[in-house]
Structure 1
Amino acid sequence: MSEREILTHYVYKMVASLIQNGVQDVVISPGSRSTPLAYAFASTKNVKTYRQVDERSAAFFALGLAKAKNQPVALLCTSGTAAANYYPAIVEAKYARVPLIVLTADRPHELREVGAPQAINQIRLYGEHVKWSADFPIPDEAPQTLPFIERHIARGVNIAKTSPYGPIHFNVPFREPLLIEFQEELPVGTFKSSYSSDLVPSKEAENLLAATINETRKGFIIIGELALGTDLKYLWSFIRKLQWPVLVESLSNLRTNVPEDCEQYIISTYDALLKSKAFKENVVADTVIRFGAQPVSKFLTIFLTETMPKDFIVIDEDPMFRDSTAVSTHFIHASIGSWLETTLQIENTLDFHYLTHWQKGEEIARKHIQTHVEIESDEGAIVRKIIESLPYKSDLFVSSSMPIRDIDTFLLPTDKDLQVFANRGANGIDGVMSTALGFSHGRCDREMYLLIGDLAFLHDVNALIATRYQQCKITVIVLNNDGGGIFSYLSQSTVEQYYEDLFGTPTALQFEEVAKMYDMEYVQIKDFNELDKFFDNERQKPLRLVEIYTDRGQNVKSHKNLWQRIHAELEQ
């Protein structure tokens, strides 16, 4: 065979194997060395391609797409620093447990470490931030090469989508020439299929959990951000059966679509409640059970470390279970599934007065949060108004820093079909726009909104380049307080010297021209009373940018006023 024929068979075998193992989408950034694979993907009908010229943004776009679809997404770039630009999103995918299949084209072995252009050391480039990494052989006629490729792809994709999900990396070297013969039919593989099983606890673990629950008089459940694809019906069934207070983070999506018979057990205002010393003294628990990641709330973390429950059971799909508080006493290796309702034999032995104390606190906090909109005009009131006004069947992607904290405070339980998502693996503000755009493509049947601060928006404004290559539909809501608002709540704000230069970091930028550049409908809101003009107007274009001006100082004052009102009534 000619070199071109060999290369053609090689790249189409890769594409066929990726599709066979469940990859339906690929995000491609342009580059020379990745040409053969880019051609193979683009000419294959069974895979959907997305384009983004900025590799850093492309990787976050793929991350968002994988989060939305709960499926592995491939990501392709050329050699050199293009691959390094994937790193931030790969770190997020690692800690957020998102399945990415990272394909980096590379120079052939003879051009590595000899001063060849656009050649860096790409072997295990991402270190321990990927679940697995493999350096592929150069395309050749050896009979072992294609079977090796086929089975390594099966291994890699299945590693990526085995609990806990995560990214894997294939480094693929190519020699020139880089052109292939286009083919309409993909090759038939010799490797047929692979199967994985549900991750269920051992009988011993089930017995321990049941015995602990049945002996508990004071206890609560914590539910943080859950693994992709979690079926929430099993948690609702568990909550009905247990009838304990359930501290539900906004990212768990158990504050929305709440069944009527479970609503009384949902504690959504725990962050505000646990700022009160008097309240904390009455809700010390003997037993805590946590599903998912540790919630955003700093005050919940402090409460757990101060009280050290006798039994703290973490249920997680990863043997490297998450416990930043170092208070866990037991770990159960399992995914959330039918075992919670079919095999777990439990009874409700909880102290009624303990449950009532949580419920009364929740009632008080909800009342003040609901009326916050009427007496304040800070970012918290804006967030509450946005939540109330979003249409049914909406997705809200939220930036880290203050937006996610305001969502966690102001999103109260509702039967509304609203779901909330964020990048909380590494908790960074980078790549938020790109992730949200990718996410919007994975859930096209829902309205997509992004809530983001001005610095996070500036950090990832290149994300909007993707809208030039594929149709996107999203409303971006920028809370522009001219700087880093979260630092106003931290100890750095007490040191006036250098505060604005190092932490506030104002830019004095406005974003109307950005909207014009990308043909976005632009809405500017300078007064709280103008919010209705955003919600009352029909969308004019698929892309919409809403810029809301706020004041950092007012935000801190208004938030503190809310907490004081809640605490004053709690302590009566």
Structure 2
Amino acid sequence: MIARFQSIYDIANLCAKKGLTQAVLCPGSRCAPLTLAFTRHPNIQCRTISDERSAAFIALGISQQLKQPAILLCTSGTAACNFSPAVAEAYFSKRPLVVFTADRPTEWIGQQDGQTIFQTDVFGKHVKKSYQLPQEYEHQDNVWAITRMVNEAINFSRQEPQGPVHINVPFREPLYPAANEQVFFSDAIRVMEDNASPGTLDDSQKKLISDAWFQFHNVLLVAGQLDFDEPITHSLNRFFSIHNVPIVGDIISNLHPIEKTVRHADLFLGQCPEEILKTLKPDLLITFGDSTISKNLKLFLRKYKPAEHWHIQHAGFVADTFQSITKIIRTSPVHFFDFLSSIPQQNNFETQKQNNYNKLWEVEERRACRVLNEYFPCDDLGELELVKEIIGNVPPGSNLHVANSMSVRYANFIGLTSHQHTIKVFANRGTSGIDGCTSTSIGHSLTSNIPNVLVTGDLAFFYDRNAFWHNYALPHFRALVLNNHGGIIFKMIDGPGDVPEAKEYFITDQRLNAKNLCNEFGIEYLKVDNRRKLKNVVRDFFEFDGKPKLLELESDLMMNKKIFDNLKQKIRKSYEL
């Protein structure tokens, strides 16, 4: 007997044939035909997560880790709405997800039938494309349409820029197989391949770039968020050795393997005098990658605009973050910088100007590093110093995850060195929300056998506590929770910290600590409250003995603000010497 849902069951087989092997499934009945298809397919690893919001961020983490689209599935109704934060993050951070939402038949929408909402296009502009499958599955034209649309959706999620796609699937009851009905997968399933363009430079682009290149002698490279990528690292190392162009990169740019990367621009650009800022102004700015953390870098480049600004991006919409783009060059960073490296350096006065410009950035970077190293230890053990200690001890080959708000900024102030070249950095900076930072790191931990180390604040951590509400082991997971009992960033930025409503409505004072949560979810709890314990606690934290661990620092918000303000003051004073 051929199954009534055969074309739906074959969706799982099509996903597997196209390399989608990881599925995050949320419990529900309306989605039963797809749930059975995915769970019974031998080449798809399925996990069930009860909280849809957490499930979606876990799928996002899986996509980040494996660099492949992850499958995400929920039942009908508001379950789909809970996917929205992670779908938006995936869209803006260019991560591929294939999101399936089960639905009621069309005629029952708006008729007070249970778990029924308007699901068509429920994610709006935050998906690359939405698809509505036919609600009758047996006619051959519908079988063809289902196969075609799922092929297209998966291909589209992978096309540059990558991102999430949505497939809404209406189901009629009965939803479960009959007693004599077998769930099997058709052998002859059509796979539609879509081969991406390599993004190489053509001859006309090369001539345009080479003709313009030697017109500039204060050239600056700024890298936004990038995945860890050895070809990019190799290409930029070679480019720097030939052309001596300063490379500015936040911690999320993953350029720490390059020894000459300017890692601490956020520290010194906000503190150095106007006359130095003027000397750092580029006449050609070259950017690549996505968002930058540093507000000081953004303000600097918006004020001291270059004569030309080239942005390197293979495909997709380009954001004009620094308000200065003059050329968009449609290629990959590797192809672009490899081509520039093929242009021989000219040994003349103009070349010396570029060398001098690079030295100006090197001087400021060394100044920031020197002040940072001399500043610690402080009188009190605060959050910034603990982040420095943890980042300095992250095991080689680990993933370092930084949650949003102050956690990612602390990590950026500290930075990674070129000696830590095997560490990969991840952060949800597409939308920069705190809502799924822990769940995303859990997605990585579920699909890798390497240490996954999360640095997070208390609000982000407790907001996403359902990241641990599942039955899967996390032996390599480590979390540092910086618990100042509120949102410290609202004390750090101008405005909210000075109004009388700050404590209750902005900082959001809270009294929790993580000990009970650790007991509830079987996580080993470690606490540090003074410097005497620090070395031993950090050693225990990074001992991998088969169970997840959490290290918590409970500290005073105002003390941490004072430590941070004093560091900025030290940098300012360094210019007076």
The equivalent residue for 1:169 is 166
Alignment TM-score, normalising by the size of structure 2: 0.93
1:246 corresponds to 2:247 = yes
Moved more, 45-54 or 540-549: 540-549
Deviation at 1:198, TM superposition (A): 1.6
1:191-242 deviation per Cα after TM superposition (whole angstroms, max 9, x unaligned): 4533222223443333333333322211210011126868423333333333
The equivalent residue for 2:348 is none
The equivalent residue for 1:226 is 226
Deviation at 1:556, TM superposition (A): 1.9
Q: 1:534 aligns with which of 533, 537, 549?
A: 537
Distance 2:568 2:442 in 1: 35
Q: Once superposed, what is the RMSD of the aligned Cα atoms?
A: 2.0
1:268 corresponds to 2:295 = no
Deviation at 1:110, TM superposition (A): 2.1
Distance 2:440 2:409 in 1: 19
The equivalent residue for 2:4 is 6
- After TM superposition, list the pairs within 5 Å mapping 1:19-418 onto structure 2: 19-180=16-177, 181-183=181-183, 185-191=185-191, 193-226=193-226, 231-232=231-232, 233-255=234-256, 257-258=257-258, 263=259, 265-275=260-270, 276-277=272-273, 278-342=275-339, 345-348=342-345, 349=351, 350-375=353-378, 377-416=381-420, 417-418=422-423
The equivalent residue for 1:567 is 572
Distance 1:326 1:155 in 2: 35
Q: Name the CA shift for 1:490/1:137 in 2 (closer, same or farther; >3 Å).
A: same
CA contact (8 A) 1:520 1:544 kept: yes
Q: 2:491 aligns with which of 468, 488, 492?
A: 488
Amino acid across the alignment from 1:194: D
1:448-484 deviation per Cα after TM superposition (whole angstroms, max 9, x unaligned): 1111000001110011103x24555311110001100
Alignment TM-score, normalising by the size of structure 1: 0.94
Deviation at 1:440, TM superposition (A): 1.7
Q: Percent identity?
A: 30
Deviation at 1:528, TM superposition (A): 3.5
CA contact (8 A) 2:251 2:412 kept: yes
1:520 corresponds to 2:523 = yes
Deviation at 1:411, TM superposition (A): 0.9
CA contact (8 A) 2:239 2:341 kept: no
Q: Name the CA shift for 1:228/1:245 in 2 (closer, same or farther; >3 Å).
A: closer
Moved more, 317-326 or 99-108: 317-326
Deviation at 1:319, TM superposition (A): 3.4
Q: SS of the counterpart of 1:450?
A: strand
Q: Name the CA shift for 1:344/1:236 in 2 (closer, same or farther; >3 Å).
A: closer
Moved more, 79-88 or 225-234: 225-234
Q: 1:545 aligns with which of 529, 539, 550?
A: 550
Deviation at 1:415, TM superposition (A): 1.8
CA contact (8 A) 2:278 2:304 kept: no
Distance 1:420 1:43 in 2: 34
Distance 1:183 1:237 in 2: 55
Amino acid across the alignment from 2:293: V
Q: Name the CA shift for 1:210/1:569 in 2 (closer, same or farther; >3 Å).
A: farther
Distance 2:409 2:446 in 1: 26
CA contact (8 A) 2:475 2:548 kept: yes
**How many residues were matched structurally?**
561
Moved more, 190-199 or 281-290: 190-199
Distance 2:236 2:250 in 1: 14
Unaligned runs of 5+ in 2: 346-350
Distance 2:18 2:499 in 1: 56
Distance 1:501 1:347 in 2: 60
Q: SS of the counterpart of 2:140?
A: coil
Distance 1:472 1:434 in 2: 15
Q: Name the CA shift for 1:522/1:329 in 2 (closer, same or farther; >3 Å).
A: same
Q: Name the CA shift for 1:471/1:226 in 2 (closer, same or farther; >3 Å).
A: closer
Deviation at 1:439, TM superposition (A): 1.5
Distance 2:339 2:361 in 1: 28
Amino acid across the alignment from 1:442: T
Moved more, 321-330 or 195-204: 195-204
Distance 1:47 1:241 in 2: 47
Deviation at 1:418, TM superposition (A): 1.6
Amino acid across the alignment from 2:324: V
Deviation at 1:172, TM superposition (A): 0.4
Amino acid across the alignment from 1:6: R
1:431 corresponds to 2:429 = no
Q: SS of the counterpart of 2:453?
A: strand
Distance 1:320 1:196 in 2: 17
Distance 1:191 1:389 in 2: 46
CA contact (8 A) 1:437 1:472 kept: no
Distance 1:225 1:418 in 2: 15
CA contact (8 A) 1:210 1:345 kept: no
Distance 1:441 1:202 in 2: 42
Unaligned runs of 5+ in 1: none
CA contact (8 A) 1:52 1:469 kept: no
CA contact (8 A) 2:383 2:553 kept: no
Q: Name the CA shift for 1:192/1:129 in 2 (closer, same or farther; >3 Å).
A: closer
